[in-house]
Structure 1
Amino acid sequence: MLRHQYQYRSYQYAFTLIEMLAVIIVVGVLASIAVPKFLDLQRSATIASMQGLQGALNSAVSLSFARSAADGVQNEAMATITVNGQLIDVVYGFPAGTQSGIGTMVVSPSSDWQQRPSTHLGAYVYWPSRFDVDAWPAQCFIRYRQSTGVGNAPVIDFYTGSASGSGC
């Protein structure tokens, strides 16, 4: 006589509690590694963007001095030049640290950069728009300080705060 043996297969339709805990622990470990790296990438991207703006400021300084020299006003304490149809206030041939000086020479999208005259006379600041606070509390800004005399180039300060916590 022939006997049929049936094999019963049990199918698992859900994860066990141990498997769920193992997955949660692995995801937690990966997240603890990935999140700090992501935050550091955001800081690096902000600093790279600031370096680009610093390059634009340096180009504006060179362009305005060349125009001032061509107009013969590079030694004057205060003058106005025309660059690309815009009137630019210059101090000793370099853009003044005002809205009508460097603020007109270097125009950036408000979605990227906030800008205003500094609290220091003859200075102008730019800081990333992602900060809801002003430049100094954000501790992430570029400050343009106008020329102080004949032959003295403007100073461009690049401030990113500290790597631990505050700043960019």
Structure 2
Amino acid sequence: MKTFDKSRGFTLIELVMVIVILGVLAAVALPKFLDFGTDARVAVLKQTAGAMTTAANFGGARCQMTPGCANSGWSNNPVQSPDGTSGDMYNGFPTANADAADSHISHWFSISDDFVLSSSNIEYSDFSLKGAPEPSACAVRYQYAANYGEVPVVTITSSGC
């Protein structure tokens, strides 16, 4: 007569315990691997940098069409920006210096309230993202055209996003 060995496999309790442990691990570990906040902030920086580049190019094109604007240094004739502000251009493009308020790059595109002008000098302006963990390292920088014939440089710093 044949005898049957005891069934080999998992008991229901063991199976339930494995499922519970996997569920807890998934609930704790998954959010750390799927941090969409950083990706979203970097995407906002890229979008703003693209808008800023387009605005600078648009300002440069308007300057080319304005007599006395497209020359080395400060323009001789102010150019009107889309928000109605008229200001001189520098080397044919909007300036980076917020002290030269009428010709600053911020007049050439609509920047979100999520950004703040964190630093500005004669060479560049930094627009930092307010909600970032480290706003000064989550920013878009507009650097003016240093020489006539060059274009402004827009860079992104995303290490603090």
**TM-score, normalized by the shorter chain, greater than 0.5:** yes
Where in structure 1 are there 5+ consecutive unaligned residues? 1-17, 162-166
- CA deviations over 1:111-167 (Å, ceiling 9, x no partner): x2122443x5321111211037552xxx11111110111101111121112xxxxx2
Tell me the distance in 2 between the aligned counterparts of 1:65 and 1:35. Answer: 45
The answer to whether 1:155 aligns with 2:150 is no
Q: CA deviation at 1:83?
A: 2.0
Measured at CA, do residues 78 and 116 of structure 1 come closer, stay the same or move farther in structure 2, by a change above 3 Å? farther
Show the counterpart of 1:86. Answer: 85
Q: Which amino acid aligns with 1:153?
A: V
RMSD between superposed Cα atoms in Å: 2.5
TM-score in terms of structure 1 length:
0.71
- SS in structure 2 opposite 1:96? coil
Show the counterpart of 2:23. Answer: 27
- CA deviations over 1:60-115 (Å, ceiling 9, x no partner): 111101110101311141133102222244211111002321122233232x2122
Tell me the distance in 1 between the aligned counterparts of 2:45 and 2:141. Answer: 11
The answer to whether 1:125 aligns with 2:126 is yes
Count residues in correspondence. 141
Select which of 129, 141, 145 maps to 2:143: 145
**Which stretch shifts more, 28-37 or 95-104?**
28-37
TM-score in terms of structure 2 length:
0.74
Identity of paired residues, percent? Answer: 19
Tell me the distance in 2 between the aligned counterparts of 1:87 and 1:156. Answer: 23
Show the counterpart of 2:41. Answer: 46
Tell me the distance in 1 between the aligned counterparts of 2:108 and 2:96. Answer: 11
Q: Identify, as 1 or 2, the structure richer in strand.
A: 1
Select which of 57, 60, 64 maps to 2:59: 64
Q: Is the 8 A contact 2:81 2:107 kept in 1?
A: no
Where in structure 2 are there 5+ consecutive unaligned residues? 1-13
Measured at CA, do residues 88 and 43 of structure 1 come closer, stay the same or move farther in structure 2, by a change above 3 Å? farther
The answer to whether 1:36 aligns with 2:32 is yes
Q: Is the 8 A contact 1:88 1:104 kept in 2?
A: no
Q: Which amino acid aligns with 1:127?
A: S
Q: Which amino acid aligns with 1:37?
A: F
